[in-house]
Structure 1
Amino acid sequence: MLDDFSDPAAVEIVNMAGSAPILLTCEHASNHVPDGISLGVGPDALQSHIGYDIGAAAVTRRLAELLDAPAILSRCSRLVIDCNRPLLSPESIPDSVAGIEIPGNRGLSAAARAARARLYFQPFHDAIAGMLHRRDADVRHLLVSMHSFTPRLGDVERPWDVGVLQRRSPTIGTAMVDAFRAAGLNAIANQPYQIDDETDATVPMHGEAHGRPAILIELRQDRIDTAAGVQAWSAHTADAIRAVLR
């Protein structure tokens, strides 16, 4: 079910009436390329980590069930437009990612870029803003943005199971790392990325700008690329979020 602030072509909303004081988001949930857009890349690229965050959507949907929380997921590939990049960022509509050229994004007109923002970026963020505005009237919500990361980037090994990113919610971020570690998991704060105004949209826009607690969780992709991994890591993540809420 979708509310009037969302576009079903761009946004998936799960468990809208969930009772938990949490909103889950997944900016890189899909590798779908809408009709009428040609990126000039093959299916292998779209199925890889440059097309979407492997496993993140499945974990987000499962978390919505386990926590009884609403979740908002993007329905288009990050190569069409990245819903976790500010619109002025060069990575918003990238012309190359990880050394792979995206020919269909080169030389886009201002009108074409604006159309992608209007059709796919704005409905996603309007859905988040509308959901939080409505639900925060009852209780302040925790915003949790779900992502996944590659075990290796270039020559750099990434040994962690999970990273918890925060910038202005240090108490929550530390508590969540501690909860993961208490379960025997390799958790780290603010790795493999950091939240930044130049590279992040959701947490700064919908969390920090409103004084709302907000974190970004990065799960290692080879932990959640199977159904069993999704089940296990959804449970681990739900336990860590519950520990923070307590």
Structure 2
Amino acid sequence: MLRAGGILIVSDHASNRVPSDIELGIDPALLSEHIAVDIGVAQVAEIMVREAGFSAFLGNVSRLVCDFNREEHQPATIPIASDGHAIPGNAIDHAGHEERLARFFRPYHDALAELLDASPPALILSLHSFTPVLASHPEEKRPWECGVLYNSDDRGARLAIPLLEAAGLVVGDQQPYSGKLLNATMNRHAEAHGRSYFGIEVRQDMIADAQGQARWATILTDVAKRVALALD
């Protein structure tokens, strides 16, 4: 349970679950890849919440069913393609789109808003992971071990980046994505309310196994604590 003044981990893409009544029309093997789930983040969050003062709010369906880290009516909220793979089951009409929003998107954001209002945290950690190589752009190098994302409010990010670098990590500032463009959940629930946060993207090969997950849970727990204390 989130305690007021604690640290809340929010992970929009923690699950690869596809409800049995939704047929995406893809090879099931793709559900284990980055287009369907942020690999490793659920396991990292599970370890982190063992620490006093930490709680987690995790998405419970695949981003291919509904991507919570988008604006409600963006095409990518229910994607028809991802990293070169067509998602034919998402070629749905307006009524089908509305049904997905009502079933998944709005309840997710309503529940998160209610939680944050009831127990305002000292810090929100937006936890994601990224693939080392995009299949659609194999020539693009992604050397960062993690990236820190933010939009207008960079208070948490400016504290987190040097702490992560001090841990010996190769850290991207707005890499491999920019929070100016991909920050919908934090824009809505953190920046719009003046809540302190930072976004973290961990490269998926770093947290693909139990050893890596444990290592990164330790790193992120320490960094989040230090950021929260510095912002207090």
Taking structure 1 as the reference length, what is the TM-score of the superposition? Answer: 0.87
**Contact 1:174–1:189 (Cα < 8 Å) also in 2:** no
Show the counterpart of 2:226: 243
Measured after TM superposition, the shift of residue 126 of structure 1 is 1.2
Per-residue CA deviation, residues 10-61 of structure 1 (Å, 9 max, x unaligned), is: xxxxxx1446522211100111111211000011111110011100111122
Residues 86 and 43 of structure 1: CA distance in aligned 2, closer, same or farther (over 3 Å): same
Residue 68 (structure 1) aligned with residue 49 (structure 2): no
- Give the equivalent residue in structure 1 for 2:16: 31
Q: Give the secondary structure class of the aligned counterpart of 1:196.
A: coil
Q: Which amino acid aligns with 1:72?
A: F
The 8 Å contact of residues 72 and 127 in structure 1, kept in 2 or not, is answered as no
8 Å CA contact 2:152, 2:180 repeated in 1:
no
Aligned to 2:42: 57
Three-state SS of the structure 2 residue aligned to 1:157 is coil
The equivalent position to 1:121 in structure 2, one of 92, 105, 117, is 105
Partner secondary structure for residue 224 of structure 2: helix
Name the amino acid aligned to 2:132: P
Cα distance in 1 for residues equivalent to 2:124 and 2:2: 16
Structure 2, gaps ≥5 residues long: none
User: d(CA) in 2 for partners of 1:45 and 1:229?
Assistant: 22
Deviation at 1:201, TM superposition (A): 2.0
Q: Choose which of 90, 114, 122 in structure 2 pairs with 1:105.
A: 90
Name the aligned partner's letter for residue 96 of structure 1: A
Q: Which amino acid aligns with 1:144?
A: L
**Which sits farther off after the overlay, 205-214 or 221-230?**
205-214
SS class of match (2:127): strand
CA contact (8 A) 1:20 1:67 kept: no
- Identity of counterpart residues, as a percentage? 38
**For residues 178 and 84 of structure 1, do their structure 2 counterparts lie closer, same or farther at Cα, with a shift above 3 Å needed?**
same
* Corresponding residue for residue 141 of structure 1: 122
The residue number in structure 2 matching 1:158 is 142
Quote the Cα distance in structure 1 between the aligned partners of 2:156 and 2:72: 28
Q: In the alignment, which residue of structure 1 is the partner of 2:200?
A: 217
For residues 98-126 of structure 1, what are the alpha-carbon distances to aligned partners after superposition, in whole Å with 9 as ceiling and x for unaligned?
110001011x1212111111111112111
Alignment correspondent of 1:185: 169
Say whether the 8 Å CA contact 2:3–2:119 is kept in structure 1.
no
What is the CA distance between 1:210 and its match in structure 2?
0.8
* 8 Å CA contact retained: 1:132, 1:141: no
TM-score, normalisation: structure 2: 0.92
Matched AA of 1:217: I
- Match of residue 229, structure 1, among 188, 196, 212: 212
Q: Deviations over 1:171-208 (max 9, x none)?
A: 321210111111111112111111236x4321110011
Q: Tell me which amino acid in the other structure corresponds to 1:88.
A: H
Contact kept, 8 Å, 1:19 with 1:69, in 2: the verdict is no
Separation in 1, partners of 2:113, 2:106? 10
Moved over 3 A (4+): 17-20
Please give the alpha-carbon distance, in whole angstroms, between the structure 2 residues aligned to 1:141 and 1:113: 35
